């Protein structure tokens, strides 16, 4: 973090809501910058890396939150939490597929928003819990200390949620892990009903690994969750 307080960028065209959330978060020891348009957010985020987390509303006029996410994610790995409407399931999934780290439905409780931000900060800024810092299997080399991954000798780029999910799976290779446990360990929160966040994060990990020559190493376990295979399917 850039100073003693986490630097948060809040982007939402609802001026009243922003004022409420900013006041609460600042009282909770966050340093909050507020912007009310997508184009302003893109300009700010591409100019400088100064924020620890971005809270981004999906539904904004002209330049939507998804437009911001698409543009920023192409050049920056800054953690992004989306604010979505209650019925915006498709936008929520699309946002996660495009690289958002988490989401929260509006109207949101400021206390819950603060908790989600802290969860993101914990998984992006704290030292890894596991004492085993290095994992290597199927050509995938993951280093928890440097939070880096290479696949068949090539650097792989993962979001913070994707990195932590892959680390947890590799740390427990061969074991079936429940979606509930994955959500707690990776997203630092409980699994909500109808929550597909972990499914989307795992799907993106599979796509990235397959594109780099390592398909079929993460198995879906029906009715439970996922398993990182010690032997690849078809070997």
Tell me whether residue 23 is in a domain.
yes
Quick: pLDDT tens for 148-204: 999 999 999 998 889 999 999 999 999 999 999 999 988 888 888 778 889 999 999
Per-residue burial over 166-205, b if 16 or more Cβ lie within 10 Å, else e, is bbbbbbbeeeebebebbbebbbbeebeeebebbbbbbbbb
Q: What is the pLDDT of residue 90?
A: 82
> Is there a single domain that holds both residue 55 and residue 144?
no
> Is there a single domain that holds both residue 115 and residue 143?
no
> Is there a single domain that holds both residue 157 and residue 219?
yes
Instruction: Split the chain (235 residues) into runs of 10 and give each run's mean pLDDT.
Output: 81 94 95 96 85 94 93 90 81 88 89 92 64 83 90 92 93 94 88 86 95 94 93 65
Q: What is the pLDDT of residue 1?
A: 44
Q: What is the pLDDT of residue 50?
A: 83
156 lies in which domain range? 134-228
CA gap 162, 38 in Å, rounded:
25
> Is there a single domain that holds both residue 140 and residue 121?
no
> Is there a single domain that holds both residue 12 and residue 117?
yes
Tell me whether residue 97 is in a domain.
yes
Output the domain CATH number for residue 24: 3.40.50.2300
Tell me whether residue 2 is in a domain.
no
What are the tokens at 98? 């495009």
Q: How far apart are the first and last CA of the chain?
A: 44
Among 100, 125, 150, the domain-final residue is 125
Q: What is the pLDDT of residue 194?
A: 79
Strand-pairing partners, residue 228, are 218
Look at residue 71 and give its three-state secondary structure.
helix
> Is there a single domain that holds both residue 70 and residue 97?
yes
Q: What is the pLDDT of residue 21?
A: 95
Report the Cα 120 to chain-centroid distance in Å.
7
> Is there a single domain that holds both residue 21 and residue 85?
yes
Q: What is the pLDDT of residue 180?
A: 93
Neighbours of 160 (CB within 10 A): 23
Q: How many domains does the chain fold into?
A: 2
Strand-pairing partners, residue 31, are 7
pTM of the entire predicted model: 0.77
Nearest to 112 by CA among 200, 189, 23, 13: 189
Among 125, 148, 173, the domain-final residue is 125
């Amino acid at each position: 973090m850039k100073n003693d307080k986490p630097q948060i960028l809040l982007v939402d065209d609802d001026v009243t809501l922003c004022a409420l959330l900013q006041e609460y978060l600042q009282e909770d020891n966050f340093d909050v910058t507020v912007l009310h348009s997508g184009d302003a957010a893109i300009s700010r985020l591409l100019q400088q890396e100064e924020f620890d987390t971005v809270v981004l509303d999906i539904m904004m006029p002209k330049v939507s939150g998804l437009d911001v996410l698409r543009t920023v994610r192409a050049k920056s790995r800054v953690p992004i939490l989306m604010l979505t409407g209650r019925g915006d399931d498709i936008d929520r999934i699309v946002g996660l597929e495009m690289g958002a780290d988490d989401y929260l439905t509006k109207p949101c409780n400021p206390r819950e928003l603060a908790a989600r931000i802290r969860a993101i900060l914990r998984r992006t800024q704290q030292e890894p819990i596991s004492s085993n810092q290095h994992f290597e299997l199927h050509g995938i080399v993951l280093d928890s200390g440097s939070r880096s991954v290479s696949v068949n000798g090539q650097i792989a780029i993962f979001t913070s949620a994707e990195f932590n999910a892959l680390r947890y799976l590799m740390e427990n290779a061969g074991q079936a892990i429940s979606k509930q446990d994955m959500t707690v360990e990776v997203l630092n929160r409980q699994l909500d009903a109808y929550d597909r966040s972990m499914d989307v994060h795992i799907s993106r990990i599979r796509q990235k690994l397959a594109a780099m020559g390592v398909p079929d190493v993460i198995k879906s376990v029906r009715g439970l969750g996922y398993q990182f295979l010690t032997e690849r399917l078809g070997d």
